[in-house]
Structure 1
């Protein structure tokens, strides 16, 4: 009888500790309140179904800096997207694992919550669909999302963060993408000298900056419009052509040769920190870009009317170029780039 009672007691204790009675720890994961700048364009629709949360952003930032995303564990998103360069880098073209050279210049990661298209050719319409591109691209990380999950799924720190963010420890591709997007949604740059002047916060333009703003409004604002300083359109502006046969600009996505070598108009925010310039780093400095516009760009059947209708150039005096550069530097946000 005593033996029976002893066994029964052990069974009861075993059952009481079983997974059937396990109560998972619940964490409060509030949505973050983002400071949406006045006058910025509408948020991307995907933002509303994946709003940044306390732990989602923490997880996303950790994943953004995770080198195990790459096949040889040497390259993370942050390897090419450096904060000091407005989350771009200063290489002519992106450099991936084993020193492989990518097709294009690394785009900055800033104000992406307000963008309608991602990548220079607009191949993605939501941030949640974008991270897979560098993960699988041979010249970048040359891996797969399943390989990534295999590397991190037993990492206790990740298990904890996935639990805090999503309610359980299950690591899935969708959750990885959503977390990275949540982090990127928080990377908002709107505290430059220009912003402070526009908000009447005591900052004032110098004479050179004021003249540059006037030249900018006359000769640049047609494409670099809105508070993002891009209209997010795709244009062929006659830059020197990338000889890589895989390059076709927007036409790579649409198959429409009327969009051959058209690229998304870049934002000029923090442009001081994102050299070199052009889809594959054709220009080392802002002065080089302005000289090229002044001297005349390459002709093309689909050359943007801004150039097509003006003898393939934007005429600028040397003084106007200096003014423009002075103004563009007012778009530098040191609080965003840690300068």
Structure 2
């Protein structure tokens, strides 16, 4: 009996030591300051609940370029979102594992912190809800979040980074989503020639660029407004219709007939590098796109009034097209694109 009591006492002693001496590890993970350009729109409210941090962004970038997120370890987020293309794609439709072709063109990942809708049809309102979509979509990565976590758990560097980014929580689904969003929040493009001219930093537009800016203000700014060069609205502008029967534009989300083939107005920033253009890459070049608008778009009951009230077209002379393209090229941000500057 005495021996039993002594054994219990020893167990309690060690248990007590283990409980009292274990201190939670506090990781120093400073919040990063987003460089918000002058006159840019308000931040998406979700940013304030997931502000970028030193290790959160480092983790998100590592995940963004990691092919382990796909089922067969062949593609990463960066496979369809290429920095030199403003984190967009050069294919008409995104291509996933095993060469599977998606529904739409991969949109650029730039200035995400200021967007209120994500994807062509605006099906996501918070960037943190986006990363799961490509991971589980058959035509993209065709994996599962549990499969991804299982792969990452075999890598000690990931375990350490997740703990640093999220105060010792380890590898979690939310950690994956939040860190990728944090990295994407830092992808701010605001140092194009247009921006430097506006900031009076010693550069000026050429004659053609200045004339193109005038054409833009007269014929394009209704949709491509704000410093993002998009008003973030959804419009049917009569582009050729995607033959995929799954396509319905914004109507896929709202279920409303009037939203059929309406898509979010894309930003024109870095447009020189985001070809092809349109929700499924209908236009190979900017010249092709402007010629189409000039010649006349498809009729539709919900065609945008700007076009419907103008005989279904945006009339442009050959010189106006040349000048407009010259202006749009001033929206290219070489620093953001990782090009020589």
TM-score (norm 2): 0.94
Q: Counterparts of 1:295-310 in structure 2 under 5 Å?
A: 295-310=295-310
Deviation at 1:27, TM superposition (A): 2.0
Q: Counterparts of 1:71-220 in structure 2 under 5 Å?
A: 71-220=71-220
Number of the residue aligned with 1:226: 226
Number of the residue aligned with 2:248: 248
Q: Report the number of matched residues.
A: 335
- Judge conservation of contact 2:149–2:171 (CA < 8 Å) in 1: yes
Counterparts of 1:169 and 1:248, CA distance in 2? 40
Number of the residue aligned with 2:3: none
Counterparts of 2:227 and 2:172, CA distance in 1? 36
Counterparts of 1:136 and 1:43, CA distance in 2? 28
- Judge conservation of contact 1:160–1:169 (CA < 8 Å) in 2: no
Counterparts of 1:130 and 1:313, CA distance in 2? 35
Counterparts of 1:19 and 1:268, CA distance in 2? 58
Q: Counterparts of 1:256-335 in structure 2 under 5 Å?
A: 256-335=256-335
Deviation at 1:20, TM superposition (A): 6.5
- Judge conservation of contact 2:75–2:96 (CA < 8 Å) in 1: yes
Counterparts of 1:16 and 1:195, CA distance in 2? 63
Instruction: Give the 3-state SS of the residue equivalent to 1:212 in structure 2.
Output: helix
After superposition, the C-alpha distances for 1:233-286 in whole angstroms (9 at most, x for unaligned) are 000000000000000000000000101000000000000000000000000000
After superposition, the C-alpha distances for 1:87-117 in whole angstroms (9 at most, x for unaligned) are 0011111000000011000100000000000
Counterparts of 2:138 and 2:65, CA distance in 1? 19
Structure 2: runs of 5 or more not aligned: 1-6
Counterparts of 1:326 and 1:97, CA distance in 2? 37
- Judge conservation of contact 1:159–1:169 (CA < 8 Å) in 2: no
- Judge conservation of contact 1:277–1:285 (CA < 8 Å) in 2: yes
Instruction: Give the 3-state SS of the residue equivalent to 1:51 in structure 2.
Output: coil
Deviation at 1:192, TM superposition (A): 0.1
When the two chains are superposed, the root-mean-square deviation of aligned CA atoms in Å is 2.0
Q: 1:193 to 1:256 in 2, by over 3 A?
A: same
Q: 1:17 to 1:271 in 2, by over 3 A?
A: farther
